């Protein structure tokens, strides 16, 4: 559940961030929106995250009801994760974040290319 969040007086944005805040939670949910995934697959899809961090983030998302964990009684054990119906309600929020990020990256790349292509002012001696 949310860590140190006052459900009675806290801001609504803070409530959202208490569930999907952090570097990896939105990314994991985005990957799971396309369908069920095993832990190893999520690990490969987020190469910059450690296995421990992915595990912790998945546990918190499960505790908040955003994803569900399915354990299969096999040897070796197989575990799959998927977004719950409640978690699917985050899809428009994550899509908006994705669009904003795309625009931001484009803007930054354009700014960088302008700096690289701008001729240096000639120095007057």
Q: What is the pLDDT of residue 3?
A: 59
Mean pLDDT, residues 33-38 taken together:
96
pLDDT of 17 higher than 90: no
H or E, element range at 17: helix 12-20
Q: What distance in Å separates the CA atoms of residue 125 and residue 118, rounded to the nearest whole number?
A: 21
Architecture of domain 12-116: Orthogonal Bundle (1.10)
* pLDDT per residue as tens digits for the range 81-104: 999 999 999 999 999 999 999 999
In this prediction, residues 59-70 reach a mean pLDDT of 95
* 9/27 Cα distance (integer angstroms): 28
Q: Does the predicted model carry a pTM greater than 0.85?
A: no
pLDDT of residue 10: 73
Structure token digits, residue 87? 């978690």
Q: Return the percentage of the chain with pLDDT > 90, whole number.
A: 64
- Residue 83, both tokens: 């977004």
Report whether pLDDT(1) > 50: no
Domain ranges of the chain: 12-116
């Amino acid at each position: 559940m949310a860590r140190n969040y006052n459900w009675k007086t806290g801001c609504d944005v803070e409530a959202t961030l208490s569930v999907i805040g952090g570097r990896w939670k939105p990314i994991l949910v985005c990957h799971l929106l396309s369908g069920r995934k095993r832990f190893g697959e999520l690990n490969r899809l987020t190469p910059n995250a450690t296995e421990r961090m992915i595990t912790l983030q998945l546990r918190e998302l499960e505790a908040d009801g955003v994803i569900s964990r399915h354990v299969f009684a096999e040897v070796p054990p197989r575990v799959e994760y998927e977004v719950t119906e409640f978690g699917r309600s985050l899809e428009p929020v994550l899509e908006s974040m994705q669009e904003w990020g795309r625009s931001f990256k484009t803007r930054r790349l354009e700014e960088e290319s302008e700096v690289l292509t701008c001729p240096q002012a000639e120095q007057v001696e």
